[in-house]
Structure 1
Amino acid sequence: MSQPDLSFLLKAEQPSAAAPEPEQPTPAVTAEPPEGSVSALIAELRAYQAELESQNKVLRYSQTVAESASERFETLFASVPLALMVVDEYDMVVQANSMAHRSFQPTERDRPLTALMPFVSDTDAPRVQEAFAQARAQGHSEVTEVVFTIAPNIRITGDLHIARIEGHQGDGPVQLQFLCAVIDQGPLLAERHALQQSAQALQQRNEQLHASEKRLEAVINSALDAIICVDQNGLITVFNPTAAALFQCSAQDALGSPLERFLPAAAQALAFAQLTTQAMLGEMTACTASAKELAVEVGVSFERHAEGETTTVFARDLTGRKKAEAHRSELEAQLRESHKMQAVGTMAGGIAHDFNNILGAILGNVELAKADCAPGSPVLESLLEIDKAGRRARDLVRQILTFSRNEPPQRTAVSLAEVVHDTERLLRVTLPPAIELHMQLQPGLPPVLADATQVEQAVLNLCTNAVHAIQGQGSERGSILVEAALVHPDQRLSERLGLAPGDYVALTVHDSGPGMDTATLERIFEPFFTTKPVGQGTGLGLAVVHGVMRTHEGGIDVQSVPGQGSRFTLYFPCLL
């Protein structure tokens, strides 16, 4: 900066030498200012001038910066992608950017953007007014999800952010203005709504998955088969109640155990996981927690997932099936035996009728021949032997007819105790002295519906067989026990003997003979089957007993062990 020219001050102090001095009276002597004080004043003035120029420079820079900031604010205000507006304290819109005009006044026919509150819905108006009051007091505020009505069919939902602006005009009062920014939440609300729907759908899927898991758990827990799930390490992860009952082990104890603990052979089937998704392993031997073996039918299913592989083992207990099959085989054997005996009986009955007619002719002619013989004739002895053999043949025919008779007998109310006592008198007459006969009859036995003659015949046949068994073992001494008691057969015995439910009088004949083996027990009721030497037995005694019990709707049970004697029990239904 050039220095200011202050030479006029020096010229004023020193007048020109060429000018003539006027003649004046001599003034009084006055004091002149010293030359140093003027120079100091000039220097001070120059310093002040330099400071003023520096302040002017700072002022011009500040003004330039302010103008630049104002231009940037205007540019930002105009180009920011938000609806911005400046509102005074009377709700008049002082300034609004283009985004605000496009949002609040899409067309020229729409309401002009001169005030903000007319656009606010009646529902949100109290919240917006409260927000302005808060901004006036605290400097800023915001209110969310405000609905702005642009047109009858156009609405904007956005968040309103308010900031207080204080304006000064000279010495006048402070003017309050508010910078309002409207952030359109329409896309965000749509996204939020989509997220809510997605969350609801996810929640529904989770609930469905949870319900599916519950149903699966209920199915597994209520399944009649044992279900065991094994992880890729061969350890049990699921053990349903049926498995706990089958293997006699609680689920808490079984979880984490290896599969070999219960199914040693099934563990080898895990090698099939690489070949198929399921396999039927058939019948296997399983082990309970107490090391008891049982037969089971096993199937496996293999599943691959992100965590590895899971093997599901299905085990079905075959104990009941095997018992049912054994019982069925037993019933089938009884049915075949019954059919065979019925066929044999029918055949024997036909033969017996014809043979009985022949015997009648023989015995009749024997009687006529005996009448024609003189006493002491040697022919008479031969006729007596013929008569004896004929009568024995007639008794045999009667047994055959009794065995083969299919029509129901003439049954009446009979006391088994009386029938047994009558039979006892006949037995004691013919019983060898070395064989003891004991009777144990329960007092007060109810009557049964029976044919007394056939019951007596059955008891006689059983006791006769007992005597022959004792004598056949090589020992002359022995005992026969006849018992009678009221019983109620259990279900298994009833099914095995074909007895109807109810009470029965059980008549038992127990001997101390040698007993019978299994092969003999299977054939004792076959007609003409006997273990006696030739000529000593007909093989019809037990067949007749079997026929008697069949016609009386009862049953016969045999228990015999070699060396421990035999026990025959006849079940007669009680008379209701």
Structure 2
Amino acid sequence: MVEKALSLLILEDDPDDAELAVKQLEREGINLKWNRVDTEEGFRKALTEKPDLILADYRLPSFDGRAALQIREQIAPEIPLIIVSGVIGEDVAVECMKSGATDYVLKDRLSRLAPLVKRTIKEAKACRECKQTEDALLQSEKKLWSILNSMTDFCYIVSKDYEIEFMNKALMERLGDQTGNICYKAIFDRETPCPWSKSGDVQKGATARWEQYLPKLESTFEIIDSPLINKDGTISKLGIWRDISKRKQAEQKLRETLDYLENLINHTNAPVIVWDPEFRITLFNNAFQRLTGYTADEVIGRELRMLFPEGSRRESLNKITRTLSGEYWKSVEIPILRKNGDVRHLLCNSANLYADNGTTLISTIVQGIDITQQKHLEAQLRQAQKMEAIGTLAGGIAHDFNNILFAVIGYTELALDEAPKETSLQSNLQEVLKAGHRAKDLVKQILTFSRQAENQLQPVQVKLIVKEALKMLRASLPTTIKISQNIQSDSMVLADPTQIHQVLINLCTNAAHAMRDRGGLLEVSLHNTRMSSSPQEQFGVSNSELEQDDKQSAFQNPHSEIGLGPGPYMKLTVSDTGHGMPPDVLERVFDPFFTTKEQGEGTGMGLSVVHGIVKILGGAITVNSEPGKGSTFEI
């Protein structure tokens, strides 16, 4: 890149002297674009073009260097000016420096000129940058004061000695201009600092936020005190007060209303429960306490999930989550877990309570009817009907079988009477008779068969499958590949254990293949995670219903990218230190029949099958890999 030429203005009546100065500078490698003037009019005009530097002779026929300094100060004071003179006394030089000259050099010592010009240009650049910074800071300060003065909140700045340094317009209109006064005296009519003051915290660099009723202003304020560092290093306090009196009154009114409703609800015989938008129980009436065996103190503030049996928790939480979007229940059946472990069934109706704006959800209230006994009666009726149907079917089967068996057994017994003793015929007929009696017993079992059973989904503890698979892999992998496992989850997922085993084996086998030449480390971890922390998503539904708190970070990828809904998940990570994958391979890694292995070493279906299994189980799989840095699969 070509260096920008230095724009030089020379105030000199002798063209030869100007040429000499220019040659001296060019000899020192300074790239110049210069202009010479020798009159005041020419000097003024040239200054408007903003040169980078001025070289001025002290004595000219029409005016001198001191006059040139004065003109420069009027038009362009930021441009450095160096006096170049044949004869100049020390006293004159000092006066010129006092008048604004950057420096001076004698014409018979022009060897000093180039170093002086370089230093001057460098200093001028630094000065301009400093000036720009100061101007930007000044503009920022002006903008800050403008913002503070436009705020409807009260705002002031107080020094560490409690002196008011600034009050915004809103506060001045309320209290008058108290700038320069001691804040606790001027604002609060106190002789000592306010006991609620957070100035000590602010002086330590902390921001304090709290609510305070201020008697003089007859209002409750939300107060934010923040440290404001001054140029001298001292710390002032920036205080912002927001009047929240109306909000506090509304909150009090709401509390009174809720107290009234709570008292009313507690005296109804129907079980009633109320929860907030974060699914924490806020009301638990007496009837609900009798139903569950819990006291109100045991459940208030806790999450709703504690009241749901594990087997139906997923479905119940799904129904509850939908109430956030305005859905209400009408005769919805919800199983409830009692304190002693029994399960009761409620037929529930719900309603949402909104704030005055009609959109902000405050609470959801649910009233239920205990239908447990009714369900038991219905189950008994269904069982009786089933038994009746089985009995009818069995009677018909027994009738036909008995007719057949009567002939088989009867004729076999007659044949046995006529069969020669101790012959194969007699032995064969005895076996036929035994089979006939076994068939008779089978008919009897069909007639008496009846049992009650419910089909249950069986949860799978993934950690057991992981440990079993890694144990098997250890025996088959070379000793150059080390295995590290970090199993932190004891939770269950609803899945086929064979499929989970297949997923892990495929991933670990691929990892081992990537490290077979130089060895490396195969890491497998398993822990619980949650896709998001908002209340709706905490209770979202997924293929897994994890009981532990989320103590691990969520996927690095946003769930909008990996296609997962919000809620708790189990995360399986398999990583290796192998050769990694380039971007073009990474893009196709899950494609069916795509493989980078040699012919006969793989079909290209392993990761495709893994991807399919993960999707079937309601999960997602991501992969991160770079050439030479290994690969990491997260499920």
Shorter-chain TM-score tier: under 0.3
**What's the TM-score, normalizing by structure 1?**
0.27
